[in-house]
Amino acid sequence: MQKKVWMVLALVMLVPGLLLMTSCAQQSAVEQDTTEKTTPPEDTSAKTGDEDLQAAAAKRAAEQAMNQFLNEHIYFSFDSAELSAMAQDTLKSKAAWLRENAGVMVTIEGHCDERGTNEYNLALGERRAESARAYLIDLGISGSRLSTISYGEERPLDPGHNEEAWAKNRRDQFKLR
Applying CB under 8 A, the residues found at the interface with another protein are 79, 115-120, 122-124, 126-127, 130, 148-151, 154-155
Question: Of 60 and 155, which has the nearer Cβ to another protein?
Answer: 155
Signed CA dihedral, 134, 137, 143, 148: sign only: negative
Min CB(131)–another protein separation in Å: 12
Question: Of 52 and 154, which has the nearer Cβ to another protein?
Answer: 154
Bridging pattern class, strands 171-176 and 106-111: antiparallel
Min CB(119)–another protein separation in Å: 5
Min CB(67)–another protein separation in Å: 23
Tell me how far apart the alpha carbons of residues 8 and 2 are, in angstroms, rounded to a whole number.
Answer: 10
Question: Of 79 and 100, which has the nearer Cβ to another protein?
Answer: 79
